[in-house]
Structure 1
Amino acid sequence: MPETIFEALRESHVTQRSLIRKLMRSQPGPDRVALFTALRIELAAHEAAEERFLYVPMLMDDRGLHPSRDALADHHKMDELVEKLQTPSHAGRRWTATVHQLSEELHEHLREEEKSFFQLAGKILTDSQKIALAKRYRKGYEAMRAKLIEGC
């Protein structure tokens, strides 16, 4: 069976969890900066594509309106935390505390999405939509990721 939007999204979720874990264990220095940059790019590319190719179709259905708004608010919170983390040193207690806060927000968002949002979306979207959205998500994700990498 062809890939669905949910499988495509879960792949990025695995990457996000791995990167935030590594970032939380990292020490100040070039490796930490590289991990933070990789996480920042992954989150931004994923969010942009997910919002366009999952949240927008969900917003078109009354059942998906409130959950999609909640998910968008989660993305906004995480974006604000990532912005706070964009400092020259990537070190210090405040920076580390913000990474922990981002980790909590991220893990909670991914859990909610995978445990309830995807199930609701599975009921709202048709099988052909799930497959088509996966293709569009992949294309949008890769384009955004390339753009963000180029900007570094």
Structure 2
Amino acid sequence: MDIFEALRLSHDTQRTLATQILQTQGASPERGGLFRQFKHELAAHAAAEERWFYRVLIESDSSMAQARHGMAEHHEMDELVSELNKIEMSSSGWIAQFQKLRDKVFHHLEDEEHAIFQLAGKVLTGKQKTELGRDYETAFAEFRLGAMPMNSAEG
């Protein structure tokens, strides 16, 4: 599996979880559980992606700006998660704030899949794509198991 396939798998999980959260009501155990999964997925994905995808893209002049932009969007999503952690899940403000996070996440995933992946495809060799996919998958699995501090994404 190359880096693009590996990243798309997590992207699909993020989209599914966000959609499921929007179908929940109030401070239900279902909403709480899905949101915890979603935050953990976002944090693990961002950590592994920055280490094994963006780090390499920053080294190339042609992809540096896009990689930095992607990492900045990760920070923006962390901030939105942090704000959500401060709002009662049963309030109407929570779902409105979650919708902002969902929109930011979906925008970020579209950017990656339709712009950054194409740029990276030109910068990375075939061997790099495969190696980065393997390294990303290993790190992502470790991060998902809790081998990383979750910072503001935990709550």
Aligned to 1:111: 110
Q: Distance in 1 between matches of 2:79 and 2:32?
A: 18
Q: State the 1:148 CA deviation.
A: 6.3
Superposition CA RMSD, Å:
1.8
SS in 1 for 2:145: helix
**Would you say 1:5 and 2:12 are equivalent positions?**
no
SS in 1 for 2:25: coil
TM-score by length of 1: 0.93
- Counting aligned pairs with the same residue, the percent is 39
SS in 2 for 1:89: coil
**Paired AA for residue 58 in structure 1:** L
Query: Residues 45-75 of structure 1: CA distance to partner in whole angstroms, max 9, x if unpaired?
Result: 0000000000000000001110011101111
C-alpha change, 1:8 and 1:67, in structure 2 (3 Å) is same
The 8 Å contact of residues 41 and 148 in structure 1, kept in 2 or not, is answered as no
Please list, as runs of the form range in 1=range in 2, the aligned pairs for 1:111-130 lying within 5 A after superposition: 111-130=110-129
Q: State the 1:24 CA deviation.
A: 1.2
Please list, as runs of the form range in 1=range in 2, the aligned pairs for 1:133-148 lying within 5 A after superposition: 133-147=132-146
Q: State the 1:89 CA deviation.
A: 3.4
Task: Flag the structure with higher helix content.
Answer: 1
Aligned to 2:34: 35
Query: Residues 107-148 of structure 1: CA distance to partner in whole angstroms, max 9, x if unpaired?
Result: 111001000100000000000000000010001001111016
The 8 Å contact of residues 87 and 94 in structure 2, kept in 1 or not, is answered as no
Aligned to 1:78: 77
User: Which structure 2 residue ranges, 5 or more long, are not aligned?
Assistant: none
Query: Residues 80-121 of structure 1: CA distance to partner in whole angstroms, max 9, x if unpaired?
Result: 111111247312121111100011101111001000100000
User: Which structure 1 residue ranges, 5 or more long, are not aligned?
Assistant: none
Q: Distance in 2 between matches of 1:53 and 1:149?
A: 15
